[in-house]
Amino acid sequence: MSASIFRAAARGSAVLRAPVARPAVAMTARAAFVPKASFSAAARLRSEHHEETFEEFTARYEKEFEGVQDVFELQRNLNNAFAYDLVPSPSVLIAALKAARRVNDYPTAVRVFEGIKAKVENKGQYEQYLQELAPLREELGIVLKEELFPEESA
């Protein structure tokens, strides 16, 4: 018990301190204080980055996928590409699928198509992507999740 008193004393507990008299401040002085404009609560957000066009986005991610050396890089680039509020172009997806083949990651190749299905607005767009990527799918032997598990898609 005596140890707890010493700890309280060492911390400067309010129980052991004498009350400090604070000078009275008039309400008018507090109310008259107005912060400077530089400390405004509505600060403007400024970005030094320019907005990237879809063509720049496509070129950047094609280059990123061409340089992929391992599964981590592939999955990180896919997460970043699908994080935007757009569906990557077929050329980006082709580069991603070739990168998946290069690093020998079949499950990620299947998941690329799941990502496309989640990002498109309607089934017709998904079918267009499948049609565009069909030759590469056949070449790489990628089977869609709907084909692997037909009972789940029904």
Q: Name the pLDDT band for 1 (thresholds 50, 70, 90).
A: low
Q: Please work out, in degrees rounded to the nearest 5, the angle formed at the alpha carbon of residue 119 by the alpha carbons of 116 and 120.
A: 85
CB contact at 8 A, 105 and 71: yes
pLDDT tens, position by position, 65-119: 999 999 999 999 999 999 998 999 999 999 999 999 999 999 999 999 999 999 9
One CATH from 1.25.40.40, 3.30.300.30, 1.10.357.10, 3.40.50.11540 for 54-153: 1.25.40.40
Q: Please work out, in degrees rounded to the nearest 5, the angle formed at the alpha carbon of residue 58 by the alpha carbons of 133 and 104.
A: 55
Residue 105: name the closest of 127, 135, 128, 72 by CA: 72
pLDDT on residue 10: 53
The average pLDDT across 47-59 equals 83
CB contact at 8 A, 16 and 9: yes
Contacts with 115 (C-beta within 8 Å, 6 or more apart), sequence order: 78, 82
Radius of gyration of the chain (CA): 30
pLDDT on residue 11: 57
Q: Per-residue pLDDT for 32 more than 90?
A: no
Q: Per-residue pLDDT for 29 more than 70?
A: no
pLDDT tens, position by position, 118-153: 999 999 999 999 999 999 999 999 999 988 888 876
Residue 82: name the closest of 61, 100, 66, 98 by CA: 61
Report yes or no on whether pTM surpasses 0.85.
no
Phi then psi dihedrals of residue 143, to 5 deg: -105, 135
